[in-house]
Amino acid sequence: MNLYANAGPLNIHNKHLSSGSDCAKIRSFRAAVVCLVLLCVLLLTAVIVLGQLLTKITNLTEERDLLLTKITNLTVPRDQLVKNRLFKNEWINYQTSLYFISSLKKNWTESRRYCTERGADLIIINNREEQDFVKKISAYVWIGLTDSEVEGRWKWVDGSTLTSGFWDPREPNGRRGENCALTYSPGWADYPCSDLFPWICEKGSLK
């Protein structure tokens, strides 16, 4: 009987050990659950933030595309307006000069006479910006450049000698028969002065 009586306290001790182990497991489980919940919250927050950023980026991209479209829509009519004005026999103010672009055709000498009778002269192209301005014209046009006095010595109508220019790489290729210059899309070219082309007059802007 004493043997069975002694077994009682041992069982109670084992139950205490089992209960302590279960509590530790529960605490560990709860900690894991808390960590998992926090991780889910962080992931959800990150997803929300990324979603907002993507939305902002999309909106900015759409605004940029809309702005580019508006710029294009403004640029096209502007360029068309310039082209329309070029062929309406109007004087155009560009930089420090006024320009008259003819829609008629004359030889080089008559073209120059037309300009001088209006207080102007055939255009003298001084820089790349002015050359690009002239290139907006799709047709060939006379400019105020000739080597009629001395073959190969090109001079502007104001008497100044040409030092550098915007010749087509294949030009000038003429001899005595091609002593007047015109400009077209690839650059300048020498042509017979008797040929008929439109022309550009230039004079100082009125202040």
pLDDT in tens, 75-99: 667 666 655 554 445 788 888 889 9
Mean pLDDT of 184-191: 92
Token reading at 191: 């042509």
205 versus 16: the higher-pLDDT residue is 205
More confident of the two residues 197 and 152: 197
Listed in sequence order, the residues at least 6 apart from 87 whose beta carbon sits closer than 8 Å to its beta carbon are 101, 103
CATH of domain 91-204: 3.10.100.10
Span 169-192, average pLDDT: 89
Q: What is the pLDDT of residue 82?
A: 56
Nearest residue to 145 via CA among 110, 183, 113, 198: 183
Query: Which carries the bigger pLDDT value, residue 164 or residue 109?
Result: 109
Grouping H, G, I as helix, E, B as strand and the rest as coil, residue 83 is: helix
| Mean residue pLDDT across the chain | 83
Q: CB–CB of 146/155 below 8 Å?
A: yes
For 139, other C-beta atoms within 10 Å of its C-beta total: 15
Delimit the domains of the chain by residue range. 2-85, 91-204
**Rounded to an integer, what distance in angstroms lies between the CA atom of residue 179 and that of residue 146?**
5
Q: Which residues contact 177 (CB under 8 A, 6 or more apart)?
A: 192
* Closest C-alpha among 112, 103, 67, 66 to residue 84: 103
Three-state secondary structure call for residue 140 = coil
- What percent of the chain shows pLDDT beyond 70? 81
For 12-40, write each residue's pLDDT tens digit: 555 555 666 777 777 788 888 888 898 89
Is there a contact between 191 and 182 (Cβ–Cβ < 8 Å)?
A: yes
Average pLDDT over residues 153-166: 94
Phi-psi sector, 47: left (phi>0), alpha (psi -120 to 50), beta = alpha
pLDDT band at 179 (very low <50, low <70, confident <90, very high): very high
**Do 100 and 118 contact (CB within 8 A), yes or no?**
yes
Per-residue pLDDT, averaged over 144-156, amounts to 94
| Residue type, position 20, single letter | G
